[in-house]
Structure 1
């Protein structure tokens, strides 16, 4: 592991705190944010970075409009540094465990934007009094990269219907959910019932997601298979735009029931059962097996399970 080879710069060898500084700067993209997370002053963090720069004979991070950008050498070192810091923190974690009442840890959860709308209000309310110092960050869901992000510790948990099969990943099925359709309140051809025939005759808004394993990509595929490619009237790149468009058009948007019910609270929308025979999806929480011994991540998983886990129908429990 580190150092990968004798660097050209030489000088005093880095210690763990220097690599922790490197990892925080690389992940957060700024000295101020990294210093705050590590509980260091900015001069102390700059001093740690300076030692690394001398040791490796490289700037490692350069200022830009987007923050501190890693040099090619820093990008090559990043994964080793993340693994080193994560391993040491895991092995040296205090045996007393995690005390949420005194913690100021930032938990990073990866989910979709609509997933954040579903999960985060309840989680924030659940810890308001019991873990007031805990902080949260929601990061975009990156299906192909989630295994590496969990392994490196860049994210703590993934909440998704994405079917993740990666070495080292563990999962818990939380609940299954069906689908509903959103239409505008004054739709000229759709009354209190939405038949499959009418569903196929109308235009649809779908989320343009390239990953074929994503739940909304499978909805699009089912619409095309049943009603034809011509039924797709609009593709959007953000699920949150769909209800605003539907409220002002004659298009239909098909979403998971939990999200559709939240979207239906917007003015001008109606919620109807989906006539398309879509199989319910199962939402999971995913984590890396290296985090099994991390009491903080264990607390987070238990928190999510306590507030969202529901018994699954037998067919879905077997699939999960």
Structure 2
């Protein structure tokens, strides 16, 4: 393929089709007519000698050839955008951008308060929508541009994603002030004899704490499994259940927090973004801001003793 024979605007259509999976939505996104998008797709098919996108039950699905070239196309478009606009295209102080951040309530609690304060001073027009899309759909949402950035455990290895480790949050133990163990020195036997509440976004499966116990040939009694840390905190303060969680989740009134009587590896969190946004000045800026607030959040947790 000779580039001097190819209209580079076709690759913009290619990228939009890959993200939107709909000729209609691509036309709306690029401010083109539907026939113009269809014509561009036909020219792309001739260029590659492949259908590239075929109709399916979930819209226009990429062929293996399209999947194979997408990462390179998106990276090239990102580099072109950087070359044309550079960092002058994004001024946080003048921006009204809405950032969509994928985070569970643990990461939200650690980052968002500081992030809001930072935005109020440096970028008052910027706003944030934070939600957890679930691990299964995170990659697709980053691909489609529905998410700008994701914070999650290091289990996503899709080749079209970039990632960097944010850090680790140590696990600690929380209980009600009225719990029998709150007033005594306890050991692993006391821990295993008690009943527990566990937080997980999944319906089943072992979490990091239970895996650590399993590797030691031990097992605890989980009497309640919930999806949100705030719910676990409410349950723990008013029952005799023990709650083992990352320390940043335990800063609630009425909880007595102590060290665990066994070793558990810290919960690692990574920052993810789509490869096409790697050089996007607005995305780079927000990634750096999240990194800063994550570090500050960990310092605040350590200082509070949670």
1:186-197 → structure 2 map (5 Å cutoff): 186-197=178-189
1:108 aligns with 2:100: yes
CA distance in 1, matches of 2:267, 2:24: 48
Number of residue pairs aligned between Structure 1 and Structure 2? 252
CA RMSD of aligned residues (A): 3.8
* 1:276 Cα deviation from its structure 2 partner: 2.5
**Would the alpha carbon gap of residues 103 and 89 (structure 1) be closer, same or farther in structure 2, given more than 3 Å must change?**
farther
Which residue is equivalent to 2:174?
A: 182
| Preserved contact between residue 209 and residue 217 of structure 1 (Cα < 8 Å) | no
Runs of 5+ unmatched residues, structure 2: 1-12, 18-22, 39-54, 64-69, 297-306
Q: Map 1:180-259; keep pairs closer than 5 Å.
A: 180-210=172-202, 217-223=207-213, 231-259=221-249
- 1:9 counterpart residue number: none
Pick from 130, 143, 148 the counterpart of residue 156 of structure 1: 148
The TM-score, its normalising length taken from structure 1, stands at 0.66
From 71, 85, 99, the equivalent of 1:94 is 85
- Partners of 2:186 and 2:133 lie apart in 1 by 32
TM-score, normalising length: structure 2? 0.69
Matched, 1:166 2:152: no
Unaligned runs of 5+ in 1: 5-12, 22-47, 57-71, 311-320
Distance 1:285 1:161 in 2: 9
Q: 1:307 aligns with which of 293, 298, 301?
A: 293
1:292 maps to which of 278, 285, 295? 278
Q: Separation in 2 of the partners of 1:193 and 1:150? A: 47
Shift of 1:232: 1.3
Contact 1:143 1:162 in 2 (8 A): no
Using the TM superposition, give the Cα deviation of residue 138 of structure 1 relative to its aligned residue in structure 2, in angstroms.
Answer: 0.7
Q: Distance in 2 between matches of 1:158 and 1:243?
A: 25
Please report how far the alpha carbon of residue 189 of structure 1 lies from its aligned counterpart in structure 2 after TM superposition.
Answer: 3.8
SS at structure 1 position matched to 2:106:
helix
SS in 2 for 1:132: coil
Q: Does the CA-based 8 Å contact 2:152-2:270 persist in structure 1?
A: yes
**Mean Cα displacement is larger for which, 270-279 or 203-212?**
203-212
Alpha-carbon shift at residue 148 of structure 1 (Å): 2.0
Displacement of 1:94 after TM fit?
Answer: 3.1
CA distance in structure 2 between the partners assigned to 1:15 and 1:175 by the alignment: 38
Distance (whole Å) between structure 2 residues aligned to residue 17 and residue 89 of structure 1: 19
Q: CA deviation at 1:20?
A: 5.0
User: Structure 2 CA distance, aligned partners of 1:134 and 1:78?
Assistant: 34
